Chain A
């Protein structure tokens, strides 16, 4: 076979002689956690090392994480990515068994059993000249890379984020750096305006008649409210849907949503859809599918935690 050695194979491109090819050793198990930051007693941030994923990730995409070999596949929107550091950032709200267990078990230096992605069609950021980026709850973190992408594309960016109160606010400095205007909404008015994000959107829409697009990420009920807020203004409103998923690769059909009266799979056709065409009632109904099981799992988990806890340890985050 010596006659092939120098010429290279058909279609082959010589790999980088310096050995700097990031694809040389793609990480496929045991994903190290570089940093963890706790924003509140339920919300925390994980920065996970995965250079190839950090290179590939685009705003609007998500990953699936698995805590351990008994764990479920948990879809999480990518909150940020750093191509130089080779990391992706995930923001987790500890509300169910799996996320509570992640909160208790994942710290700096630990590894994730599974991490796969980026999944989903990236958000379409080019074109719009003036956008409102809206984030609430779990959606505050993932709306950030979208706002940044719009800013980098030269758009005028209005950020609207919602929190329950002042103590739960995070990343406001990051947002201010990429937003031309930034509105914080809190339930109790302890910071920013008092009210829901829909109030912030209304304010922004009234101040700017030339908004091209509104992008909303958050709990379904919030997205539904936002979509109804923008509908009379006839502004294109994109939402990022978060239905129940198993594989995340288009195989199981568990994440099917009704958009424009058609079945679409959020994992491969989405997660971004035109909010004015999404059937949110269908989405919210289907999110209740495993309510009973979720409660059982959480109760069982709490019970186990209580039993194994040392006397000096208290409830909540360590």
Chain B
């Protein structure tokens, strides 16, 4: 077959239907509807199958992207799924929520010239993940039992990725979750229209099928400590993936008024507690008609789009920098704009004004302009003097990031860094032997896929710590000849046991 070139591939991305903005802004059905088979195959044709694929490096969990695309082109969907799930156990989730433009798609040579869009890797991943759910495919892993038990704190993306890798390596894994449903941010944070609960359930089912036990209603630190897990409870290693933690506020006058809440609270009420269906469900929402969301990250986008769907008449985004600096995933920003959310760039709140009953009445803001670049390389915003103005609002939502959750710091001897996040080394090992940590509780708020990457990295560290075979190496059949082998054993097999001196 002749090599594909940038000129010979389909120039336009294959078509993926999307719900119309006017309709979807009023429902919780998924916005992006996904490829059909024909379009998925058409999109596969756009992959150049580079000899040194940049996309694999660009992926936090190093998915063999050209590999699964090549199998898809051959209609070997099951094979493609198996290859995909060597690296990620949650393809239907990642295909939906990864910021692909900063990862695999960002380095794709097809898009590098700037005239073409990169291969829609995320949409292909989602298509495969959805197909697997529809067909009931489960990755069959050959699991060699090991005499080790690993406890995982938190059932979010970091914990689940770590659990999956360790279960595949033969460890007996138990996940402890403080909320009453598993999934972490996938459950309480990301709304239904972006990631349906049925997809989360299916992916969690895949983890449980590996023999992982998930225990909800279990608050580690308070019900039992990390030290007790290693001691009395007999876990050989522990992974901590408790997530970002407590929402930040700005300490503005009026933050105590009713109608001021964090995006975490709004999303938890809506997604986990189903407050949108109050009073059929018991948790109230209390959302107003004019909502102002402070911040412009992914959480802010979710909060705004949820508000829109729950009947707010006007939803505004207040962000102190410009659209260029907006940290949200491009697709989310674009969808939010389409749905009629108003963006007020270069605007910063200074005070929340209330009425006589202690409810929010307005948000006092100032205009900003961009000054010199700060340490993060972004131009820092500066207040324009005398630019104060009032902004009518009855609900103010803070989506300006989080600070670390204090529970594990309060209850264990884990060493924390200056900001209060858990301190780890390059292998994600903490100051306690056998205890690893990863995801937002180490790095601060980030993305689902980075948390999964951290979970997998910690799993590799735990496997080394326990001295068990690196199960991430996939057996690729007999190598030809002796090249790449030592004493006739393929070097990438690394099938040996550490000898421990006692």
Contact = CB atoms under 8 A, between A and B. Distances in A.
Contacts of A256: 249, 256
Contacts of B502: 7
B178 A249 contact: yes
B456 to A, nearest CB: 21
A263 B245 CA distance: 15
A121 interface: yes
Contacts of A66: 180
Contact of B466 (A10, A254, A258, A268): A10
Interface string A120-141: 1100000000000000000000
Contacts of A70: 274, 280-282
Contact of B232 (A13, A53, A254, A294): A13
Interface string A249-284: 111111010100001010011000000000100100
Interface in B405-451: 405-407, 410, 433-434
A253 B261 contact: yes
A53 B407 CA distance: 16
A274 to B, nearest CB: 18
B434 A117 contact: no
Nearest to A116: B217
Contact of A263 (B249, B257, B274): B249
A207 interface: no
Given A282-B256, A285-B256, A72 B251 contact: no
B147 interface: yes
Contact of A250 (B147, B257, B261, B406): B406
A292 B357 CA distance: 13
Contacts of B112: none
Given A9-B148, A246-B268, A249-B178, A297 B279 contact: yes
A3 B497 contact: yes
Contact of B246 (A53, A265, A285): A265
Contacts of A119: 219, 222
Contacts of B232: 13, 15, 21, 23
A289 interface: yes
A7 B281 contact: no
Given A250-B407, A263-B249, A56 B223 contact: yes
Contact of B236 (A10, A23, A97): A10
A154 interface: no
A14 B246 contact: no
Contact of A56 (B147, B180, B224, B466): B224
B148 to A, nearest CB: 6
Contacts of B282: 67, 70-72, 97-98, 297
Interface in A59-114: 61, 66-67, 70-73, 97-98, 113-114
B431 to A, nearest CB: 13
Interface in B273-307: 273-274, 278-286
A12 interface: yes
Interface in A285-312: 285-286, 288-290, 292-294, 296-297, 300
A52 interface: yes
B256 A286 contact: yes
Contacts, number: 189
Contacts of B245: 250-251
A101 to B, nearest CB: 8
B230 interface: yes
A256 B223 CA distance: 23
A7 B468 CA distance: 15
Given A15-B234, A293-B286, A253 B223 contact: no
B273 A72 contact: yes
Contacts of A231: none
A269 B497 CA distance: 46
A268 B268 contact: no
Nearest to A24: B233
Contacts of A97: 279, 282
Given A61-B222, A246-B273, A251-B268, A12 B281 contact: no
B314 interface: no
A114 B215 CA distance: 12
A297 B218 CA distance: 29
A116 B262 CA distance: 23
Contact of B269 (A3, A67, A246): A246
Contacts of B114: none
B258 interface: yes
B179 interface: yes
A139 to B, nearest CB: 21
A155 to B, nearest CB: 25
A11 B433 contact: yes
A247 B256 contact: no
B265 interface: yes
A14 to B, nearest CB: 7
A160 B102 CA distance: 62
A314 interface: no
A159 interface: no
Nearest to B229: A23
A1 B273 contact: no
B284 A56 contact: no
A293 B257 CA distance: 17
A62 to B, nearest CB: 10
A211 interface: no
Nearest to B280: A70
Nearest to A12: B236
A118 interface: yes
Contacts of A286: 256, 258
Interface in B233-255: 233-237, 243, 245-247, 249, 251, 255
Q: Which 5 A-B pairs have the closest CB atoms?
A: A293-B284, A9-B236, A252-B265, A72-B282, A28-B215
18 contacts: A1-B146, A9-B147, A13-B232, A21-B234, A28-B217, A53-B223, A116-B178, A118-B222, A246-B283, A249-B178, A250-B407, A252-B269, A253-B246, A265-B246, A288-B258, A288-B358, A297-B279, A300-B279
Interface of A: 1, 3-5, 7, 9-15, 21, 23, 26, 28-29, 52-53, 56, 61, 66-67, 70-73, 97-98, 113-121, 246-247, 249-254, 256, 258, 263, 265, 268-269, 279, 282, 285-286, 288-290, 292-294, 296-297, 300
Given A121-B410, A251-B243, 11 more contacts: A9-B148, A10-B466, A11-B434, A13-B231, A13-B232, A21-B232, A117-B219, A118-B222, A247-B268, A247-B272, A253-B249
Interface of B: 146-148, 178-180, 188, 215-219, 222-224, 228, 230-237, 243, 245-247, 249, 251, 255-258, 261-262, 264-265, 268-269, 272-274, 278-286, 358, 398, 405-407, 410, 433-434, 465-468, 497, 499-500, 502
